[in-house]
A = this chain, B = another copy of it.
Amino acid sequence: MPTIKDIARAAQVSVATVSNVINGKPNVGVETRERILALCKQMHYQPNILARNLKGGRTNTVMFVFSDFQRSFYLRVIHGINDCLIENHISMMICPHTTIGQFMKNGFVDGIIVLDKNISDQQIMEAASRDMPIVTMDRVLDAPHISCVVTDNHASMHALMEQLVQRNYRRFHFVGGPVHTADHMERYETFRKELDAHGIPFSQTQYFQGDYSLASGVRAGKLMAVSDNLPEVVVCANDNMAVGVIQCFREMGIGIPGQVAVAGFDGDPQPQLAPGFLTTANIPRYEMGYIAAETLVGMIQRKDAAIVRKIPAAVQWGEST
């Protein structure tokens, strides 16, 4: 690999001049510039990013912190991030939470996208406090250099409920996720608010506690069935639990949507169900990745201020309702 020195020698100029040409500085004569450019091409010169960065420049690399390789829909997030970064000629580095230390700290990357619950809020804040632009996904943090991209649970649940009410569903059950999670709280809150808005009553006997797992959906379904407490429609805080409810009902011979309708929330492919069967709020994973990357690039290149972007999930109507 030729270095800037080799080019300088070949062109009979100083390295500074070559550097100026490469970086598009105007202070170089036309013929000198052309000559150097030609040489660069001819010798296949590639500036060394490491050396360049050592001097405080940019690495044109963004880090994506992410560990959950079990959930295949995350590939869509990565895809979105990647597409945006490609357009901006930026590279992506994927790091699991275990190895971020060395990179967060020494300017190896220009910015960070965090979608990893193993990272504490504090770690993120700390990195941001060193002027590192950061975008968090699925988590909201209030700090100067931290932008956030999250699902708009309110708008999404609102839209879903509007459609359900419009189709004349009146007796609702709700299967909730872990009570302390933001997703659960926001989804449940809006669910209740919508019922109130339409004057539909709701009591504690209509609420079932789950934990986002399929098994907890099955449990909830069983509980409804054995206590002969069937609603017109079951709204679940996520798809997994909805699938559990459906499986349970099917096994017990309860018709869907004939006897009970079921709706979920997430929109990721459910191998146990026919595609498009489940009515759900479809979180746009690809788009959220793209938007996260776009936001980060703005912060890096244009010093954009931190911003919280709430992305609504479109209602995807299926046969389950």
Contact = CB atoms under 8 A, between A and B. Distances in A.
B94 A93 contact: yes
A130 interface: yes
Interface of A: 1, 44, 46-51, 53-54, 59, 61, 69-70, 72-76, 78-79, 82, 86, 89, 91-96, 98-99, 101-103, 105-108, 130, 269, 271-272, 274-275
A48 B109 CA distance: 12
A101 B46 contact: yes
A78 B64 CA distance: 14
Contact of A102 (B46, B272, B274): B46
Given A69-B75, A272-B275, A94 B94 contact: yes
Nearest to A53: B50
Given A50-B107, A61-B93, A69-B82, 8 more contacts: A1-B130, A46-B102, A48-B106, A49-B102, A49-B106, A54-B54, A72-B269, A272-B275
A49 B78 CA distance: 25
A99 B86 contact: yes
How many copies of this chain? 2
A41 to B, nearest CB: 13
Nearest to A67: B82
A114 to B, nearest CB: 16
Contact of A1 (B69, B76, B105): B105
Contacts of A47: 106
Contacts of A44: 105
A239 B96 CA distance: 32
A103 B130 contact: no
